[in-house]
Amino acid sequence: MTSQIVQNVLAEAEKRGAKKVTEVHLVIGKLTFLGLEQVRFAYEALTKGTIMEASKLFIEEQEGVVKCGNCGYQGGFKYEDDPLYHVSMPTLKCPKCTNAVTITAGKECTVKNIKMMI
């Protein structure tokens, strides 16, 4: 995922004739289950030797939001701690009526903003 982000930023910088990328702002949903420290580590490694080297990486985490087609609830949800998974897993059940829900936010991984020197 981080490799694709770096490739996309470099492509955009090249399109605009940038000499240097100074900042990259990302929005990463909690339901992507991407480790933010791993993203930072990979970003630093992948940008070495490019116009993105030494750029600042800002990551905004997006909370998960669900919508219930049965009762109309829209908002957060509960997590279950199951030792089998070694992480908290979303229940994806409506907290009001316990029917299945649809995820409406929290799965995104997008480049929100890029600052570059042209």
Domain count, the chain: 1
Residue 13: pLDDT band with limits 50, 70, 90: very high
pTM for this predicted structure? 0.79
- Starting at the edge strand found earlier in the chain, the sheet holding 109-117 runs 56-62, 20-29, 109-117
Question: What letters, b where the CB count within 10 A reaches 16 and e where it falls short, cover 4-34?
Answer: ebbeebbeebeeeebeebeebebebbbbbeb
pLDDT tens readout for residues 20-72: 999 999 999 988 888 999 999 999 999 999 999 999 999 999 998 999 999 99
Q: Please report the pLDDT score of residue 60 as a whole number.
A: 96
Lowest-confidence pick of 27-31, 32-36, 84-88, 108-112: 84-88
Please state the rounded mean pLDDT for residues 66-89: 77
pLDDT the model gives residue 95: 87
Q: Return d(Cα 47, Cα 17) in angstroms, integer.
A: 17
Q: Report the CATH number at residue 19.
A: 3.30.2320.80
Q: What range defines the domain where residue 14 resides?
A: 2-117
Q: Are strands 109-117 and 74-75 parallel, antiparallel or unpaired?
A: unpaired
Provide the token pair at 45.
């490694």
